[in-house]
A and B are shown apart, each in its own frame.
Chain A
Amino acid sequence: MTTAACFIIVSRNYIPIYEAEVGSAAKREDAAQLPQFILQAALDIVQDLAWTTSAMFLKAIDKFNGLVVSVYVTADHILNISKPIHFLHFIIHTRFMLLHDSRSDDGIKSFFQEVHELYIKSLLNPLYLPGSRITSSHFDTKVGALARKSL
């Protein structure tokens, strides 16, 4: 069971659109922004790693002081850019990133998958602008419940 966790959804423009403190660990006052700092820096690794695999769950990609960064990417958009010789595919992801302190891949994977479903439902809302911040309290509640259930 993960005790300390910070969950962030990062849009394809690298802008955080959702942020939640999950788990039961107390927040340190002297390093309040440390989870965001670590997850933001880990985006470079995600950017490279996503090219090497077609899997959506990238598992643990980075580690910091006993905290592990697990990432789950979606396949939102495929851009095809044709050049004379090469045919380039750009896959733009939405990234689900979790900073946690224990390894429980199965639980984390199921958490990510269920949050992914929740995210898709948000996208289906015609009043929600893709790429904007998710401010729905219902979404917040559901993420919390999923975290308690899976993590």
Chain B
Amino acid sequence: MHSDRLAADVPAKMPQADKAHGFMMSRTYSSPGNFDCSIGRPMRLAEIFVAAEHALKKTISNPDLQKILSSVENFEQKYMELTKGAADNYHHSWWKRYGVVLDGEIAAVCFKRGNFDLAAKSYEKVCALYAGEGWEDLLAEVLPNLAECQKSLNDEAGYLSSCVRLLSLDKGLFSSKERQAFQSEVVSLAHNEMTHHVPLDVSSLITFSGNPGPPMALCDGDTGTLSVTVWSGFPDDITLDSLSLTLMATYNADEGGKLRNSNAIVLKPGRNTITFPLPPQKPGSYVLGVLTGHIGQLTFRSHSFSKGGPADTDDFMSYEKPTRPILKVFKPRPLADLSASISSALLINETQWIGIIAQPINYSLKGAVLHIDTGPGLMIEESHSIEMESYKKAGQGSVGTENSGEATKDSSAAAKDCSPATDKHFEQLRLVSSKIEFPDWASDVSSILWIPIRAIDDKLARGSSSGAPEKQSIVDRMRTIALKLEFGISRNQIYDTTIALHFSDPFHVSTRVANQSNDSTLLLQVVTLHSQLNATLSVYDAWLDLHNGFTHAGQGNGRPISAFFPLVISPTSRAGLLFCLCLEKRTAEDENKVPPENILNIRYEIAGDRTIGAHPPATMKSNENDEDANKNLVFRSTLVLQQPVLSPCLAVGFLPLPSNSIRVGQLVTMKWRVERLKDIEEKRVPQNNDKMLYEINANSDKWMIAGRKRGHVSLDMKQGSRIVISILCMPLVAGYIHPPHLGLPGIDEVSISCSPAGCHLVCVLPPAPSSSFCVPA
């Protein structure tokens, strides 16, 4: 039976080496040998020795056994052999615990003999079994012996590992002094020169976990500080020279970062809160990885999470709990937005306020810095401060204590926000090195920055002569302003944008001839002012600087009567001014000079709100009265004054077509009649012959001309003489098409009166339906 096996096979095995001989086991089945000796008197020790030796030699016939029993060393040697054999057999038969008991015996004997190498190997087996099966009491008895062996063998890594394991055992197994001694061994070895730098696993002594609650949330590119709980099982404070913690992405083990705290950290026994600077991480979810660090020369690592937290935390009893995300980095998203407050045009060449709306999108703009860079043709008026105020959504305008432009009576009244907001802010900022710093109140609310700028355009505005306002090229009067917003915890977030600003003159000017006198010397020119701005314009004076053959009619200076002013023009509406002009005789010298342009000057005032559109220019701080300064705005524009055909010399008339309808493919004769109205002036027509050059122009895709398109005809020099020019042509396409046009290349256009005056259309019908059939021959 197995009941006595333990007693028979296992001699006195002591858990501690110094107690190797302290406890003797009684052997149930061993019995002492019988000495056959007659005791007459007490024998001396030497006599007993000889008698015993003699008796053994008589009873033991095997010479090997005799040799074994002849000395303590031989006996121990044999004992060791038998014990080792028995241990191996037990291990082979899966009785590993019995085998380990014998390994313990072997280890104790080797340790006693000073054979530390063999002793360490055997003790490692014993410790491995006890540690693997959680018998900490037994481990606490054997592990110090193993540590002694490793220390004697200068096995630094093994010795340190054993010390850590001793410290990891239940605190009740060792006294405080003993545990402190273990710690001091570790620390002193760590600060000495170590032969081999092997990282020490302290997973059983130092554990870590994230703080309870939801994971730390960061936006992409943000830095932060991660707080981690580190549990120390050391009995005393221990100084860590550096500490690092790896982060692992939950969906990709290869992704992650390493957090370092290079400052010396003192870990107290129990719970410690350590903070790590967190550099920007890629978007994703992260869990804690491995904790590493240095104590002097010693590198240590721990990869176990805290299991022994206090009962009120989630970590309590969380043995197999899946790792909880500790950090969540969001995907890149818009964090802020900069936009212009208005899209309508501002006044060019005058100081205007532009509003830039800064809007945080679920992100704080605390400490943000805005860099402002104006493009070509745009400058910031540095004499004025930049104003910043809190901003509310459209419909309420800006909530400010001051509007730069005067609030005029009508149009801007609605733009005023009269409701007193409890959280309105207003601040004046200075531009330093092309940047401004956001105040703290603008961290989490939308705000609007008013920047005083001036768009510069040296070119004079040019009017048009047609009745409809000619659209100016947007690109000419467009300016850009580059904005770069730096924000975030370490100003790591950047928002770049370029805003296009539209500028315009207050008016676009167009002219037309309203009427003319019979002798064509007087012209009534209507100058139409088209308001280009979303603001009310009041005209106080207007005058023409005339050149190029025109002059004011009458005795006065041609200025409109002052009683007509002020002329108020609503936003984007039109007004007109009538000037009476007449032609001016020009001398021969004037003919050769390059005539200067005719310029319209308008003195006006603008009334608007910077929150809606153009507005009165931001005035400089001077003694000048603001009101007068606004009225001294002068707009200048060149004019195209029409000079109608006042004295035609020739008249060209298109004669009616022979039939009302012409068809495609039908030959039709087109006729023009040319009549001489009066004598022709020298410069315009060659006078010496009556030959007149004519030319017929037609779209070759639509007309086929059969005849001479160009040639000379004779027209008598007398007034009233006539000639008819005709040509045969055929329309090629159906529809309303322009007919061929008769031109007189040698004669100035202004001397020709055409009838009809402009292009006209003729109706061409499709070809007549036809039917035909082929008759075979």
Q: Which residues from chain A sit less than 8 Å from chain B, CB to CB?
A: 13-16, 19, 30-31, 33-34, 36-38, 40-45, 47-49, 60-65, 68, 127, 129, 132
Asked if A129 meets B317 with Cβ closer than 8 Å, knowing A40-B135, A64-B7, the reply is yes
Known A14-B133, A37-B101; 14 more pairs at CB < 8 Å: A19-B137, A31-B15, A31-B19, A33-B15, A37-B13, A37-B138, A40-B135, A44-B95, A47-B94, A62-B3, A63-B4, A63-B6, A64-B6, A127-B317
Q: Provide the bound-state CA to CA distance between A142 and B13, in Å.
A: 34
Please state if B133 and A15 are interface contacts (CB–CB under 8 Å). yes
Residues of A within 8 A of B148 (CB): none
User: Is B212 at the interface (CB under 8 A from chain A)?
Assistant: no
**How close is A38's CB to chain B, nearest CB, in angstroms?**
7
Please state if A62 and B97 are interface contacts (CB–CB under 8 Å). no
Asked if A36 meets B138 with Cβ closer than 8 Å, knowing A30-B22, A44-B98, the reply is yes
**How close is B496's CB to chain A, nearest CB, in angstroms?**
56
Please state if A40 and B97 are interface contacts (CB–CB under 8 Å). yes
User: Which residues of chain B from 1 to 44 have any CB-CB distance to chain A below 8 Å in the complex?
Assistant: 2-7, 10, 13, 15, 19, 22-23, 25-26
A127 to B, closest residue via Cβ: B317
Residues of B within 8 A of A19 (CB): 137
User: Is B134 at the interface (CB under 8 A from chain A)?
Assistant: yes
Q: Provide the bound-state CA to CA distance between A89 and B135, in Å.
A: 28
**How close is A126's CB to chain B, nearest CB, in angstroms?**
11
Residues of A within 8 A of B98 (CB): 41, 44
Question: A45 contacts which of B2, B15, B96 (Cβ < 8 Å)?
Answer: B2
Please state if B101 and A41 are interface contacts (CB–CB under 8 Å). yes
B24 to A, closest residue via Cβ: A65
Q: Provide the bound-state CA to CA distance between A127 and B10, in Å.
A: 42
Residues of B within 8 A of A47 (CB): 94
Q: Provide the bound-state CA to CA distance between A47 and B26, in Å.
A: 26
User: Is B251 at the interface (CB under 8 A from chain A)?
Assistant: no
Please state if A33 and B141 are interface contacts (CB–CB under 8 Å). yes
Please state if A16 and B2 are interface contacts (CB–CB under 8 Å). no
Q: List 28 A-B contacts (CB under 8 A).
A: A15-B133, A16-B135, A30-B19, A31-B19, A33-B137, A33-B141, A36-B135, A36-B137, A37-B138, A40-B97, A40-B133, A41-B98, A42-B97, A43-B97, A44-B95, A44-B96, A45-B5, A47-B94, A48-B95, A62-B6, A64-B6, A64-B7, A65-B7, A65-B25, A68-B3, A127-B317, A129-B317, A132-B319
B22 to A, closest residue via Cβ: A30
Residues of B within 8 A of A42 (CB): 6, 97
**How close is B305's CB to chain A, nearest CB, in angstroms?**
16
Please state if A62 and B2 are interface contacts (CB–CB under 8 Å). yes
Interface residues as binary, B291-319 with A (CB distance below 8 Å gives 1, 0 otherwise): 00000000000000000000000000101
**How close is B293's CB to chain A, nearest CB, in angstroms?**
30
Q: Provide the bound-state CA to CA distance between A60 and B6, in Å.
A: 13
Complex A-B, nearest 4 residue pairs according to Cβ-Cβ distance, in ascending order: A15-B134, A44-B95, A14-B133, A63-B3
Please state if B23 and A16 are interface contacts (CB–CB under 8 Å). no
Residues of B within 8 A of A64 (CB): 6-7
Asked if A30 meets B319 with Cβ closer than 8 Å, knowing A44-B96, A49-B2, the reply is no
Interface residues as binary, B210-244 with A (CB distance below 8 Å gives 1, 0 otherwise): 00000000000000000000000000000000000
**How close is B235's CB to chain A, nearest CB, in angstroms?**
21
Please state if A60 and B3 are interface contacts (CB–CB under 8 Å). yes
Please state if A129 and B319 are interface contacts (CB–CB under 8 Å). yes
Please state if A61 and B2 are interface contacts (CB–CB under 8 Å). yes
Residues of B within 8 A of A48 (CB): 2, 95
Q: Provide the bound-state CA to CA distance between A42 and B141, in Å.
A: 18
Q: Provide the bound-state CA to CA distance between A81 and B25, in Å.
A: 44
**How close is A107's CB to chain B, nearest CB, in angstroms?**
19
**How close is A52's CB to chain B, nearest CB, in angstroms?**
11
Please state if A61 and B141 are interface contacts (CB–CB under 8 Å). no
Question: A40 contacts which of B5, B19, B26, B138 (Cβ < 8 Å)?
Answer: B138
